[in-house]
Amino acid sequence: MSEPLLLPPESAPGKPVWRRWKWIFLSIFGAVLVLRPWLPGIVIVLGWLCGIAALTNLAFLGARHLDVVVGDVSGKGISAALLMANLQAAMRNQLLQMRRGSDADFAKDLPELMSRLNRQIYDNSPSAKYVTLFLARYEAESQHLVYCNAGHLPPFVFRNGSVSRLETGGTVLGLFPTADFAAGSVELDPGSLVAIYMDGVTEAVNEHEEEFGEGRLLAALEEVRQFPPEAVYRHVSEQVRHWQGNLKQHDDITLIVARAG
């Protein structure tokens, strides 16, 4: 992963911004963004070194909301990239329809949104193809993160001296014609740290074909949980690089670190 690049805010306070940081298809590159948006009480570090059909999206909705989407498609190649493109279009349309609602409406409507996405992916993708997806909205005023986890690796949340996982949701998208989902919520007190990642982090292998694993990821995060998000990101990425040594990367590596202020 690359070193963090500090980006200034891109709009005046209160001005809505729809910023698609990256929809990634059939490309290989690395970048790190340090985001200090006009959204009070949160700093975000987004870093990726991606291959085929990875999805990372942040949408700043004025001074109130932040939508976060991280997803991964099973398999590789053109079919995987096309599936992710289909998901991109479907999800963006669904989120546009939900932007004007309250937080209570979002929590209520999120499971149905995921069910519709599941059906669309199922109807428009080859058999046995599926998508893991973590979709969340952070509400600045209440400091709540409302989310749904569709088969994605559960993000870590460090708050009040303990660690938890964002597991509430349902199965992966597109594998079954119908699926039920649930929305979860967590209050991000000042100082809380959230780490969202893809399996390219935990499945990075060393020369002995041993995976980095969730245990090492959690240990790396624990070591720097009180540090600024830039330092947390840098420490974890260095640990993963050291684990891999000189081996070639074979999977998408994405890590998002957010600190509530």
Q: What is the pTM of this model?
A: 0.82
CB 48 within 8 A of CB 237: no
At 132, which amino acid appears?
T
pLDDT at 11: 39
CA angle, corner 245, sides to 243 and 251, nearest 5?
A: 75
Count the domains in the chain: 1
pLDDT at 169: 98
3-state secondary structure of 84: helix
CA angle, corner 131, sides to 126 and 42, nearest 5?
A: 155
Closest CA to 16 of 79, 86, 96, 84: 96
pLDDT at 103: 61
- Whichever domain contains 162, its CATH number is 3.60.40.10
pLDDT in tens, the chain (261 residues): 444 433 333 433 343 333 333 333 222 334 445 555 556 677 777 776 554 445 566 665 555 778 888 888 887 777 777 777 777 777 777 777 776 555 668 889 999 999 999 998 898 887 788 999 999 988 888 899 999 999 999 999 999 999 999 999 999 999 999 999 999 999 999 999 999 998 889 999 999 999 999 999 999 999 999 998 889 988 998 899 899 998 876 666 788 899 997
Which residue segment(s) compose the domain that 99 sits in? 5-260
